[in-house]
Structure formats: structure tokens, C-alpha cells
């Protein structure tokens, strides 16, 4: 065995409730030597911060790449879950880490593209505090309703009509304020001309539990978290956010098909390092991400949860962030959607 996969969860209670237990340690081989040569100090293990709790989509992506890094490095990777505040807690932990290549962050793209225009006060500057490393995964989002919504609402328009008739029950959950699922729900409500109450959670799994328990009416999440429950009848996915129907749920019409062409978007996840990390270290990790994304186990594992493995260079990720920053600046300025800091 090349090495032992080490996982650590600071959200201990959530970790134990998820029924997961992982442990161990080992050296980092060639990568440790390369880092030591640059930083003049030994690196005993890699730490991958994650913006969401165990069982969430970001956590699953982080663990699959960590497993690949273990195979490639022959050492250990600690997955350090820092959920809450829509990823800003994890970003704060990254900012406090030395830029020696030993710490990275697996996060949703919104931390770099959306938050600068969503929050009036942001405790970090994406331009200086986040070093883009590589794209890691992409996912189509799905809007699901649970038992709080009558079974007669089987289309998006029927659900919207139901919320108009029952404004006291018209709410939606999200993995956190400012996340793409939150914004997509808010934009849908705005375009449909309805007033929905937002219920924020610290991650997707807890929101999904409340959706299936009938405590919230609707929820947008990456479709990988929804499709098994949709197939089993525990909830109903009424729309997906891709430009066409999802290959994972071909029976569900897209937002565009149902009259909302502006709601075509995909959520993506990427790796970041602290600002000031030497570009040589960043590029080295980006190469490992590219290898992982083309390696059989990672695409297969992500495909099983309705996601696509992806990769990019650091420069390509930086360009994508810049393009999406301009988009969200326009959208959020026009809609006046804001989140309290």
C-alpha cells in the first residue's frame, strides 16, 4: 500500500453522526522533498481544508482528490472540514496558513467570484488572499421539493403557483447564504415574481434532511445529492440548471426548457492555496490535479454522485474567476441581492 489516507474533521459531532471514521499518518515522499527545497522547512503532511461538512458535495470531492494525492505521493493528506458561513470559515483558516504549499482549500467557486459583490464587508480579498490552483469538479444543480409540497405539483410552474397560493409555506433551503444554490433560488423567485423565505444551513446534508422531513418546501443542490432520493420517490426534482437535460436525470426538464433561460449555470469546485504561495508549488499541485481528474478512480467516483471531474492550470482558473466576477458584479448590482456579513 502506497500510503494511508488521513482524514480529520473539526466539526466532530457532524463527523461522528455521519458514521465515518478515518485515521493515520505517513510521509510525503517526493512532494515533501520538493516543498522542503523551496521553503527550507520539512512538510510532514498535506492538509486539504474543505468549506462544507462531511457527506456534502465539497467534502466528497475533497476526499476523492485526497485519495488520489495519497496514491500519487505515497504519503498522507488530512481533509480538514471547516463548515459554516458559506465557506468563509475555511477561507479564514487558509489565510492563517503559511504559503509553503502544505495547505490547500477545496471550495466552491463562489468564494472568489460571488462573495466580493454579495457581501458588503468581506474579511478577505480573493485577489491577494486566494491563489488559484486548479479546477477540480463541476456539477449541475437541481431544484427539489419534498413532502411539504403537495404531490400534485409535478412541474416547476405548478410549484411556483403553489407558493403563490401558500405564501406562509413558501420557503427554500440552501447550503448557506451566498452559495450558488441560494443565489439560484433567489434569482428564480425574482424572475417568477414570488416572495420566498430563505432558510440557511451549514451545508447540503442537513438541508436535505429537513427537505425530506417536510420542514422546508424546496432546496437547490448539486443533482448528485438529489437523484437517488428522486428515483426512490422521497423527493421530486422539478428542474435542473444545465443548458440541456441532465444525463443523470433525463426525465427532469431544465430551467431553460421551462421558461427560465437565464438560469443556466453549473456549480464548480476548485483548489486554492494561500496568497503568496510560490507559483512553482501551485503549478506542481495543478499537475497532480490534472492527473487525478484523468485517473480512473476519481472520474468514476464523482460520476457516481452526478459530478464531472475537471482540471485546469492555475492561469486558466484565474481567467475563469475573472470572467465570472464580471458576470456576478452585473447580476448582483441589477438585482440588489445582498447578504449580511
Instruction: Quote the pLDDT of residue 36.
Output: 43
Instruction: Please return the burial class of 287, using the count of CB atoms within 10 Å of its CB with bins 0-12, 13-18 and 19+.
Output: middle
Give the total residue count for the chain.
Answer: 341
CB atoms within 10 A of CB 52: 32
d(CA 331, CA 291): 35
- For 10-152, strand residue ranges (E) read 46-50, 77-81, 103-108, 130-145
d(CA 126, CA 275): 9
Chain centroid to CA 59: how far? 8
Percentage helix, strand, coil for the chain under 3-state DSSP, each rounded to 5: 45, 20, 35
* Coil/strand/helix, residue 314: helix
In tens digits, the chain (341 residues) has pLDDT values of 333 334 433 333 333 333 332 322 333 444 444 444 443 334 458 999 999 999 888 999 999 999 999 988 777 899 999 998 889 999 999 999 999 999 999 999 999 999 999 988 899 999 999 999 999 999 999 999 999 999 999 999 999 999 999 999 999 999 888 889 999 999 999 999 999 999 999 888 899 999 999 999 999 999 988 999 999 999 999 999 999 999 889 999 999 999 999 999 999 999 999 999 999 999 999 999 999 999 889 999 999 888 999 999 999 999 999 999 999 999 998 887 877 65
Domains of the chain: residue spans and CATH: 6-139+266-335 (3.40.190.150), 140-263 (3.40.190.10)
Helix (H) or strand (E) holding 117: helix 115-118
Instruction: Quote the pLDDT of residue 340.
Output: 67
Instruction: Quote the pLDDT of residue 341.
Output: 59
d(CA 258, CA 64): 34
* Coil/strand/helix, residue 236: strand
d(CA 251, CA 52): 29
Amino acid at each position: 500500500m502506497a500510503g494511508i489516507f488521513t482524514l480529520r474533521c473539526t466539526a466532530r459531532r457532524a463527523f461522528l453522526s455521519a458514521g465515518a471514521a478515518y485515521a493515520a499518518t505517513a510521509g510525503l515522499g517526493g512532494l515533501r522533498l520538493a516543498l522542503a527545497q523551496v521553503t527550507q522547512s520539512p512538510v510532514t503532511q498535506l492538509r486539504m481544508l474543505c468549506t462544507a461538512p462531511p457527506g456534502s458535495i465539497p467534502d466528497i470531492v475533497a476526499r476523492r482528490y485526497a485519495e488520489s494525492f495519497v496514491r500519487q505521493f505515497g504519503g498522507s493528506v488530512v481533509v480538514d472540514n471547516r463548515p459554516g458561513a458559506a465557506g468563509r470559515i475555511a477561507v479564514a483558516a487558509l489565510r492563517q496558513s503559511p504559503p509553503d504549499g502544505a495547505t490547500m482549500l477545496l471550495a466552491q467557486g463562489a468564494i472568489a467570484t460571488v462573495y466580493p459583490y454579495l457581501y458588503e464587508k468581506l474579511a478577505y480579498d480573493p485577489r491577494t488572499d486566494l491563489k488559484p490552483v486548479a479546477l477540480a469538479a463541476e456539477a449541475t444543480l437541481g431544484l427539489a421539493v419534498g413532502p411539504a409540497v403537495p404531490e400534485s405539483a409535478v412541474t416547476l410552474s405548478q410549484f411556483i403557483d403553489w407558493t403563490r397560493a401558500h405564501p406562509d409555506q413558501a420557503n427554500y433551503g440552501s447550503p448557506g447564504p451566498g452559495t450558488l444554490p441560494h443565489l439560484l433560488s433567489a434569482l428564480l423567485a425574482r424572475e417568477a415574481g414570488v416572495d420566498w423565505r430563505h432558510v440557511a444551513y451549514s451545508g447540503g446534508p442537513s438541508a436535505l434532511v429537513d427537505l425530506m422531513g417536510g420542514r422546508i418546501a424546496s432546496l437547490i443542490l448539486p443533482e448528485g445529492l438529489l437523484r437517488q432520493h428522486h428515483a426512490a420517490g422521497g423527493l421530486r426534482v422539478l428542474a435542473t440548471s444545465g443548458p440541456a437535460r441532465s444525463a443523470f436525470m433525463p426525465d427532469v426538464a431544465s430551467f431553460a426548457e421551462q421558461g427560465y433561460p437565464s438560469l443556466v449555470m453549473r456549480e464548480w469546485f476548485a483548489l486554492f492555496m494561500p496568497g503568496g504561495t510560490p507559483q512553482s508549488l501551485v503549478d506542481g499541485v495543478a499537475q497532480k490535479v490534472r492527473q487525478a481528474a484523468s485517473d480512473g478512480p476519481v472520474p468514476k467516483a464523482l460520476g457516481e454522485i452526478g459530478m464531472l471531474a475537471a482540471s485546469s492550470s492555475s492561469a486558466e482558473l484565474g481567467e475563469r474567476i475573472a470572467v465570472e466576477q464580471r458576470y456576478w458584479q452585473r447580476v448582483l448590482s441589477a438585482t440588489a441581492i445582498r447578504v449580511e456579513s
